[in-house]
Structure 1
Amino acid sequence: MEQISVLIADSQRLFRDGIRKILETESDMIVAGEAGDGEEAIALLNEKGPDVLLFDVSMPRAEGIQFIRDLGNCPSKTRYVAVSSLEHDECFPALSASGVLGFVL
């Protein structure tokens, strides 16, 4: 069975650690890397080419829709899933139109 590679991008180390621990329990998923800000996430996307990018919409150096636009030169196979607190839910329609396939609140 082929594993789904996931890049976790969030400024909060505790959140990244928690998501990594959850994903490590799944035999069909592997953590390709972790990023603490948008610039690091883009660099890792280009280097690792993960299947999924799980990212915080309010991460430093990566604000929501602009971050998705900045991903234009990254691997096209990568699917985007946004993580947000409820205070950012107004950006979901625009993020969805920009290519984000899912949201985690």
Structure 2
Amino acid sequence: MNSIRILVADDQPVVRSGLRMILEGHQDLALVAEAGDGRAAVRLAQEHAPDVVLMDIRMPGLDGIAATRALAESGSDSRVLVLTTYDPDEYVYEALAAGASGFLLKTDSPQRLLEGIRAVYAGESLFTPTVTRRLVERYVETPPPRDPREAVPLLTQREIDVLLAVAEGLSNAEIAGRLYIGEGTVKTHVARILAKHRLRDRVQAVVLAYETGLVRPRGEPPG
């Protein structure tokens, strides 16, 4: 079984040390490099081709958002999981728009971090609940569609149901349980959503749900 190759980018040595200790306890995870700033993160990612980059946002020289954007523009296959102290605001959307595949907080549990790494590696997304809420609130002024099908006319009702669940940050297994369908069926629906809208991954699907007004803040239903 191949290990998930990971690069850690954080300007605080104590944080890098803590992450190293967490990762070393799991055989399916391999730390291949560490960077103390954004420029080093980009260079080391190009040298080592990690599967996942754990990226801090505020770093000297080049911040994590700019480094993430640089990796995406270079054609790197590495998936970026933003791991930061800063929950709110513009950071969430900017990180995703730059090409990040997920966003977790340093206050999240080690188990949540491990789930995030594995989910991002598998092409899924995993957001801390407060991050999901912030991202939704960014689009509070987006006029909600009168009918969800007006926002995403290419999707079937079942695909819309799956998209809404993805936007909540649910895993395939959790979506399957909620909708009483098989996990394989969920994967098929997600693949069709991505194909119909020419999306790169689940993160872009999440942004689609917010931008079209399908998801409303504080549980408001569309329309």
Considering the TM-score relative to the shorter chain, is it more than 0.5? yes
Write 1 or 2 for the structure with the bigger share of helix: 2
Q: Supply the RMSD in Å over aligned alpha carbons.
A: 1.4
SS at match of 1:100: coil
Q: Deviations over 1:11-39 (max 9, x none)?
A: 00000011011001011000011000111
- Aligned partners of 2:56 and 2:83 also within 8 Å: yes
Question: Could you state the TM-score of these two structures normalised by the residue count of structure 1?
Answer: 0.89
Q: Deviations over 1:37-64 (max 9, x none)?
A: 1111111111100000101100112224
Q: 1:103 to 1:78 in 2, by over 3 A?
A: same
> 2:125 matched to which residue of 1?
none
**Deviating 4+ runs (over 4 angstroms):** none
- Aligned partners of 2:8 and 2:54 also within 8 Å: yes
> 2:78 matched to which residue of 1?
78
Letter matched to residue 101 of structure 2? L
> 1:31 matched to which residue of 2?
31
> 1:40 matched to which residue of 2?
40
Write 1 or 2 for the structure with the bigger share of strand: 1
> 1:89 matched to which residue of 2?
88
How many pairs are equivalent?
103
Any unmatched runs of 5+ in structure 2?
106-223
Which structure would you say has the larger RCO, counting Cα contacts within 8 Å and 6 or more residues apart?
1
> 1:19 matched to which residue of 2?
19
SS at match of 1:95: helix
SS at match of 1:50: coil
Structure 2: distance between partners of 1:104 and 1:58: 14
Any unmatched runs of 5+ in structure 1?
none
Letter matched to residue 89 of structure 1? P
Higher radius of gyration, 1 or 2: 2
Question: Could you state the TM-score of these two structures normalised by the residue count of structure 2?
Answer: 0.44
